Amino acid sequence: MTESRPVDLLHGITLKAMVEHLVDRYGWDGLGDRIEIRCFTHDPSVNSSLKFLRKTPWARAKVESLYLHSAAHPRKTPKPPVTDERGSTE
């Protein structure tokens, strides 16, 4: 007999990787709009966010949920490259 195990979609993905993915996708402002917690809205950094999220299960659950949603729904078009006033890309 083989037992079926539930699939853990977050297996092997670190909290740091999740936060960095979300910041790359939404930016700190967008992340703060989607999950209204102080570590995303006031002087945000990856390290301060990780410190808070590791201590706060409800906030971590929100980050994991948004990560799963964003991973399941990749952007259809890539972001346009950033250009300076002369029109060259950085």
Residue 64 neighbours by CB distance under 10 Å: 16
In this prediction, residue 79 carries a pLDDT of: 63
Tokens of 2: 């083989």
Query: Are 54 and 60 a contacting pair, CB within 8 Å?
Result: yes
In this prediction, residue 29 carries a pLDDT of: 95
What secondary structure does DSSP assign to 20-72, as a single string?
HHHHHHHHHHHHHHHS--HHHHSS--HHHHHHHHHH-HHHHHHHHHHHHHHHH
Q: Domains, the chain, ranges and CATH?
A: 27-72 (1.10.720.30)
Q: What is the pTM of this model?
A: 0.75
In this prediction, residue 8 carries a pLDDT of: 78
Tens-binned pLDDT, residue by residue, of the chain (90 aa): 567 777 778 888 999 999 999 999 999 999 999 999 999 999 999 999 999 999 999 999 999 999 999 988 887 766 666 666 766 555
